[in-house]
Structure 1
Amino acid sequence: MAEKAILEQLDSTETIADSGDFSSAKGFDHNEIVNIIKSLHGFKFVDAQEIKKEKWVLTDEGKVYTASGSPEVQLFNAVPPEGISREELQKKIDPSIYKIGTLYASKNRWLDMGKQQVSRKVQDVTDQVKDLLLQIKDGKAINQEDINALKKRKLITLQTWNGYSLKKGPNFALERKKLVTDFTREHLQRGDWRNLELKEYNFSAKALPPDGGHLHPLLKVREQFRNIFIELGFEEMPTNNYVESSFWNFDALFQPQQHPARDSHDTFFLKDPSSTRTLPEDYVERVKQVHESGGYGSKGYEYDWKREEANKNVLRTHTTAVSARMLYKIAQKPFIPRRYFSIDRVFRNEAVDRTHLAEFHQIEGIVCDRGLTLGDLMGVLHDFFTRLGMSSLRFKPTYNPYTEPSMEIYSYHEGLEKWVEVGNSGMFRPEMLLPMGLPEDVTAIAWGLSLERPTMILYGIDNIRDLFGPKVDLSLIKRNPICRLGID
């Protein structure tokens, strides 16, 4: 009915100057009229221009005062001509009215607010505030000074009214035909297809995004690293043991039992099962020997090695424990040069902050062959990191219990304009390799780096908790494309 009234009005008068006046005259709800106008405008039946009107309306407090009067007048009327004590006056009137009324009655010099007694200074007063509020309620205009005073007291507020002016549009008609969206077999059978008006297709409209799975940024970068290792001829090591014995995690790597990394503040020790069941006994004996008294050109650490310490189960602190298992496995057969890599999760009991978590991913590569030197390690590192887009490398000597010599790896960061540490490397010590049973002329070079740090750089993330863990925003996973390592 409302739509028909709008179209008929336009047909007879050509325009509707104000949708508010039209809705009032026809008895329609203005919100209903506005919704119809928007629809007609969208189908070009009408040309609608928005109208905005601002007017002052009463707040809830202002509406109360139009009925009962302003607080200052209520307070004045509560004071008899002979005066009244403050205590009695406070009993006669609402506390909020008393507080506001006291302020404005004193300001208007209507009352003498003594410490004990309250008395009138004038005999009669006019409630100008109430009169002004009633004028606004009736839609009358008042001067700006009075508006500012009422606004300051939060008795009025500015209200914006939105409406439309209308004129005929290019598709104007007295009746809107229903457009057909689907052309069906029934239309052909009935023969009414000749009179159908089909709705235009919007070929620019975006379809709903496919509701499918999304790879986490860490998985995308991990796959890039994995492809680089495979291109270089590396095999992936099995990394499914999150729980390791201290023997494989520390002792097999020639890491002494009193090393700080084995303390509870760095390592998660398991309560159940608290210790491992089986270890290769002959190999354990050789590891014990090299720890206590050395061998292979080393004097060892000269301490009493304890089997119960080696048996303790831990959440692995590095994937080098996996490398130790693989090197031991190689040593049990006739030696063949091998290249291995691993990318998986490790655990350390660290304080969580924007750059550290208690669990993270470690990337590790090892090459085991006869006669490898430090130059071979540096060459492999240059080849590996160049494929990551890091061609400018520097090496700095460092200490690792299980590698000698050991080097920190630095790459020049163009964005930060400085050298940044990107990994650690070294040659596995004879005290680690020879007890496994590897030939004396066999050496192994290795290097490692984290997965989270390069991922954070590639995706512009400055807080590791936004990348990995329970607080990750799922939209991050959906909106980020695959990062190509080494490509800006």
Structure 2
Amino acid sequence: MADAGVAELLLKKLESADSGVDSQDVARDLSVDHQVIVGAVKSLQSLGDLISAEQRSSKHWELTGEGQETVEQGSHEARVFKAIPDDGLPQSELMKLPSGKVGFSKAMSNKWIRVDKAHEGGPRIFRMVETIEDSVQEKLVQIQKGIADEVDEKEKNELKKRKLLAEVTVKSYFITKGPSFSTTITKQETDLTPEMIASGSWKEKSFKPYNFEALGVTLDCGHLHPLMKVRTQFRQIFLEMGFTEMPTNNYIESSFWNFDSLFQPQQHPARDQHDTFFLSDPAVATEFPQDYLERVKKVHSEGGYGSQGYKYDWKIEEAKKNILRTHTTAVSARMLYNLAQKCIQEAKNKVETKEGQPKKQKRGGKRRKKRSNEPKFTPVKYFSIDRVFRNETLDATHLAEFHQIEGVVADYGLTLGDLMGVLHQFFTKLGITKLRFKPAYNPYTEPSMEIFSYHEGLKKWVEVGNSGVFRPEMLLPMGIPEGVSVIAWGLSLERPTMIKYGINNIRELVGHKVNLQMVYDGPICRLDS
């Protein structure tokens, strides 16, 4: 039956009614589902003041599926009683019956049956009465016929406990005539069109009133990924600590800047294809600062700057190979080299300017001591946050592509104590106070430390970063003045994010298995400072 037809029939019933009609009664009279009547009521309400509808709630008792079965076949205890012959039945066989377990217990409490445990064939069940009255079945029949009032509430609740009866709440509408009641349904217009205005037909139309209190549709908008929220907080912390951000828009690096400039030997396992992604096009880089390249080659193959080097045949072919950078320390190497060249150039300009000035006449007294022409080094603090790539085996805490956060501080006289102090300050701003340091080996730092933080979700200590003091073999070939130390540390962006958001598997944070609802629901990241 179409909704419009149901609505018209509802209006006709309402026309003949004195006070009003109940939607449940209308559904029974029209032999339709109650929800169809509810839909017709909603439709008529949208047309204005055609009808008025008051929602009501009522409760009634309904038989469950097991209760219906009891009406047809009798209660479990009655079925057990009927199954016992005059000469009795072994208890083991009785328990195999569909109603055996429940029926046996109820029949025993009603004293309809008894158990003879001394029987030579094992426990045997006998009848204790000739006939029984199945009151459970009778009560359910009364409720089914709609005369539930004859069954008291205590008995109904007992039947409910036995899951034979259920109390159902029914919501219905009591419908009355509205101020604009009519048995004819006229569709109200929702839009005033140019055609209506031109023809004047709008004067004869009935328009649906505007609901100025209705809320508009919620606009879909983008949401920041938890990783980006934490990245923003990391960046803010670095800026608060006086760091300058390094440009990191070069995912492709030559092996020279990624490995050789960091005093990492060409036979190091990290330079194997199992750990590094090598490019096929373009396969090699061509532009290098030649003077610096020669100094790097010499410190690798022969030693220098107080080091004996690695004593191997350094090959330019290996240094030229292009790779996806394995760490942002390659960017730090470029920045430190450019910083050293800037200092050297400033020193040269200063000397040239001084030589071009006319000599001043000696005015007597002691001659001023000649100043050194050594490059003047200005302390710096750099940071970067960007992607790096490693050929890792995927697991709960490792991906082949991840973000590395790096901090670099260069100044005179920095020590391992300074590094540990900066790290404690840095991680405290992240809200991570449980830190441990473990001695480690890095080709380009000495001493070196791994940084561990306790993960409350995984209930274990998780490595969150690496750190150390850059070796002279790395810094001095660049032109960094002697006496200048560089402390640095690097950590993953993903692991602190996992700790902050309680994520136990990195693949639930990054990659194709990410639940976008997690991105939508992710709260604003506020790292405790």
Deviations along 1:190-223, one digit per CA (max 9) or x if unpaired, are: 431112233344454223524x765534346657
Structure 2: distance between partners of 1:224 and 1:87: 73
Candidates 4, 7, 10, aligned match of 2:8: 4
Code of the residue aligned with 1:269 in structure 2: it is: D
Q: Which residue of 1 aligns with 2:366?
A: none
Query: Are the counterparts in 1 of residues 409 and 488 from structure 2 also a CA contact under 8 Å?
Result: no
Structure 2: distance between partners of 1:85 and 1:367: 92
Establish whether residue 373 from structure 1 lines up as the match of residue 412 from structure 2: yes
Q: Structure 1 residue 138: deviation in Å? A: 0.8
Unmatched runs of 5 consecutive residues or more in structure 2: 117-121, 347-377, 431-435, 452-462
Candidates 105, 108, 115, aligned match of 2:107: 105
Code of the residue aligned with 1:57 in structure 2: it is: E
Code of the residue aligned with 1:468 in structure 2: it is: V
Query: Residues 173 and 444 (structure 1 numbering): CA distance in 2 closer, same or farther, change over 3 Å?
Result: farther
Code of the residue aligned with 1:148 in structure 2: it is: N
Query: Are the counterparts in 2 of residues 269 and 314 from structure 1 also a CA contact under 8 Å?
Result: no
Secondary structure of 1:95's counterpart equals coil
Establish whether residue 132 from structure 1 lines up as the match of residue 139 from structure 2: yes
Q: Which residue of 1 aligns with 2:247?
A: 236
Establish whether residue 206 from structure 1 lines up as the match of residue 216 from structure 2: yes
Structure 2: distance between partners of 1:277 and 1:448: 29
Structure 1: distance between partners of 2:496 and 2:192: 51
Code of the residue aligned with 1:38 in structure 2: it is: K
Query: Are the counterparts in 2 of residues 237 and 326 from structure 1 also a CA contact under 8 Å?
Result: no
Query: Are the counterparts in 2 of residues 86 and 117 from structure 1 also a CA contact under 8 Å?
Result: yes
Unmatched runs of 5 consecutive residues or more in structure 1: 391-395, 410-420
Q: Structure 1 residue 320: deviation in Å? A: 0.8
Instruction: Percent identity, please.
Output: 38
Q: Which residue of 1 aligns with 2:80?
A: 75
> Pairwise mapping of residues 294-305 of structure 1 onto structure 2 (< 5 A)?
295-298=304-307
Structure 1: distance between partners of 2:521 and 2:166: 43
Structure 2: distance between partners of 1:87 and 1:462: 57
Secondary structure of 2:216's counterpart equals coil
Query: Residues 272 and 255 (structure 1 numbering): CA distance in 2 closer, same or farther, change over 3 Å?
Result: closer
Structure 2: distance between partners of 1:120 and 1:234: 93
Q: Structure 1 residue 78: deviation in Å? A: 3.1
Query: Residues 444 and 278 (structure 1 numbering): CA distance in 2 closer, same or farther, change over 3 Å?
Result: farther
Q: Structure 1 residue 150: deviation in Å? A: 2.0
Secondary structure of 1:364's counterpart equals strand
Q: Which residue of 2 aligns with 1:346?
A: 388
Establish whether residue 463 from structure 1 lines up as the match of residue 503 from structure 2: yes
Candidates 161, 165, 168, aligned match of 1:152: 161
> Pairwise mapping of residues 149-228 of structure 1 onto structure 2 (< 5 A)?
149-203=158-212, 204-210=214-220, 216-219=225-228, 222=231
Candidates 29, 33, 38, aligned match of 2:42: 38
Q: Give TM-score scaled by structure 2 length.
A: 0.63
CA RMSD, Structure 1 to Structure 2 (Å): 5.5
Structure 2: distance between partners of 1:454 and 1:478: 20
Establish whether residue 472 from structure 1 lines up as the match of residue 474 from structure 2: no
Q: Structure 1 residue 137: deviation in Å? A: 0.9
Structure 1: distance between partners of 2:279 and 2:210: 66
Query: Residues 3 and 288 (structure 1 numbering): CA distance in 2 closer, same or farther, change over 3 Å?
Result: same
Q: Structure 1 residue 32: deviation in Å? A: 1.9
Q: Which residue of 2 aligns with 1:360?
A: 402
Structure 2: distance between partners of 1:102 and 1:487: 65
Secondary structure of 2:167's counterpart equals strand
Q: Structure 1 residue 315: deviation in Å? A: 7.4
Code of the residue aligned with 2:164 in structure 1: it is: L
Q: Structure 1 residue 12: deviation in Å? A: 5.4
Deviations along 1:389-410, one digit per CA (max 9) or x if unpaired, are: 89xxxxx99978535798999x
Q: Which residue of 1 aligns with 2:62?
A: 57
Query: Are the counterparts in 2 of residues 374 and 427 from structure 1 also a CA contact under 8 Å?
Result: no
Query: Residues 117 and 220 (structure 1 numbering): CA distance in 2 closer, same or farther, change over 3 Å?
Result: closer
Structure 2: distance between partners of 1:88 and 1:467: 58
Code of the residue aligned with 1:153 in structure 2: it is: R
Code of the residue aligned with 1:100 in structure 2: it is: V
Structure 2: distance between partners of 1:397 and 1:32: 70
Structure 2: distance between partners of 1:289 and 1:306: 6
Q: Which residue of 1 aligns with 2:300?
A: 288
